[in-house]
Structure 1
């Protein structure tokens, strides 16, 4: 029976886990890997500046500031161009390549990317196979999927397609596209896959605490997990599930949040300063009641100086 976490990866959360957040969370946790937000692939090689915009870590050899390796995620449906951009990601410094077959966004699915591909396992095979053949043998190819689109009836066929194409790792978000992010996560489906396939598996979905992580690895029958929203709600969750620390106290979280606010002001998304802070507070409120007070204090404020004053005032 698996009873201890082995590897912990930070999930690619579109519009949330950008370089700033990745650096911040990796600075206080022992993550084994970060997956970037996705690079959208259509019918050509994506320009270098787009790769650098989504993953500035590529300019530092593919590492965060504390030397956590990062892996570029690609989202698309055309095997040839997915392969071409996978090669480019590696050339630019990505530590392997991740393929997105799980994004539930309607705009992405309408353009035949993300979770909609779960309806056609053969297409998934063609994409994974093309990318795998294009990559150097020493580079890891991983994929991220959900249990299915409407239900889990095609899960075995999807995983068979991915393993037959010789992917090295597979992360399964234990919900369907139809489930969205509504609890619960159905980790037992991952357990069935773990029993049948030899691929290195990562379980994802509804891991908010140490107890969740323990239950997950027991049901999913894998020692590897990927943390998403839970990592935002409890900033040191990766270290907590690895047994290195207890839950971070609010005093430390508050200091970390203030530091994040100042970093946001200096970043290229400072125009969204107010909304970015409120976005993270919505997650923090799930673990820290004090975050509710802070959220209420700034929710109507737009001026950056006024917001900073409130952050300094509330301890």
Structure 2
């Protein structure tokens, strides 16, 4: 079985990729999207989102990270993909699933699912721009307003040279509301000959079992479920419900906090930690208690003290993002 870590804008950044891949069970990560809007980005813009580029495009635990690009200009996306490949990117992923209104208004993300011909043009341009050994993958939803064109979009992506397709089993109109329509992933799989990965609403091992049965495949992409339960990938591989002990999770929180202190301004540190705790409290009673203890506190030093984490000087980041 292949388990991928989802791109989640504003949440699943390099710091969370680090700690979740340390927990084990993840085969590959996809970065948050890098927005491309008519210009060739400087290398520092790519490193800001994917600092793993400076380390063989691997997390500290050795898990590959594939940068994701988002945009609607095929030529510009191709130019930026070529630069990423020259920087040593493990592969190039393309975003055709973001449901954000501001992104869709500008013709990006899931809005492109209304135009299969443009999907084809984008993937074909990126495929031509990067070396043959660099895989080009894509992530899509079932559609924009409905799923009538899901198979057409998948065929367009595969015909253009995509080597793998992740399908978030909801439309843009569905947002993140349950359920996820895993059976439609099976229809997409039947329409193409490339590997298809199922994504959406996998919170527990039982969900993973049902998703695999309904989608007809073995590869899954985990998002909010593994943020809430960092032991989910290992539990899925062991086919038994379970989670990491709180002592292990507290060690991961300590690593996460160290990365936050090193890279994020003091005023945003407490918020980032509470954001993850807010997910963790779905599965860990200790996280619920910790979250309630610090919920109303903005001072990062006080938050660290209350949670038994290293108290850092209330100064600028030790190492700013590139």
Same-fold status (TM-score > 0.5): yes
Unaligned runs of 5+ in 1: 1-5
Are the aligned partners of 1:258 and 1:311 in contact in 2 as well (CA < 8 Å)?
Answer: no
Give the paired residue count: 308
Cα distance in 2 for residues equivalent to 1:143 and 1:306: 42
- The residue number in structure 1 matching 2:132 is 137
* 2:81 aligned with 1:66: no
Cα distance in 2 for residues equivalent to 1:46 and 1:263: 25
The one of 54, 70, 77 equivalent to 2:72 is: 77
- The residue number in structure 1 matching 2:95 is 100
- The residue number in structure 1 matching 2:268 is 272
- The residue number in structure 2 matching 1:165 is 160
The one of 291, 307, 312 equivalent to 1:311 is: 307
Cα distance in 2 for residues equivalent to 1:271 and 1:156: 46
Cα distance in 1 for residues equivalent to 2:255 and 2:39: 39
Are the aligned partners of 2:19 and 2:255 in contact in 1 as well (CA < 8 Å)?
Answer: no
- The residue number in structure 1 matching 2:109 is 114
Cα deviation, residue 259, structure 1: 3.5
- The residue number in structure 2 matching 1:300 is 296
3-state DSSP of counterpart to 1:242: helix
- Change in 2 beyond 3 A, CA 1:264/1:255: same
- Change in 2 beyond 3 A, CA 1:166/1:189: same
- The residue number in structure 2 matching 1:3 is none
* 2:234 aligned with 1:226: no
- The residue number in structure 1 matching 2:46 is 51
Cα deviation, residue 251, structure 1: 3.3
Cα deviation, residue 261, structure 1: 2.3
Cα deviation, residue 267, structure 1: 2.1
Cα distance in 2 for residues equivalent to 1:95 and 1:85: 14
Post-superposition CA distance 1:28-85 (Å, at most 9, x none) = 2132111111111111211111001011111112111111111110000001011111
- The residue number in structure 1 matching 2:10 is 15
- The residue number in structure 1 matching 2:318 is none
Are the aligned partners of 1:170 and 1:199 in contact in 2 as well (CA < 8 Å)?
Answer: yes
* 2:247 aligned with 1:251: yes
Post-superposition CA distance 1:216-258 (Å, at most 9, x none) = 1111111101111111000121111111884212332233224
Cα distance in 2 for residues equivalent to 1:256 and 1:62: 21
Unaligned runs of 5+ in 2: 310-322
3-state DSSP of counterpart to 1:12: coil
Cα distance in 1 for residues equivalent to 2:23 and 2:35: 30
Cα deviation, residue 153, structure 1: 0.7
- The residue number in structure 2 matching 1:242 is 237
Post-superposition CA distance 1:109-156 (Å, at most 9, x none) = 111110111111111111011111222111111000001011101101
Are the aligned partners of 2:205 and 2:239 in contact in 1 as well (CA < 8 Å)?
Answer: no
TM-score relative to the length of structure 2: 0.92
* 2:205 aligned with 1:210: yes
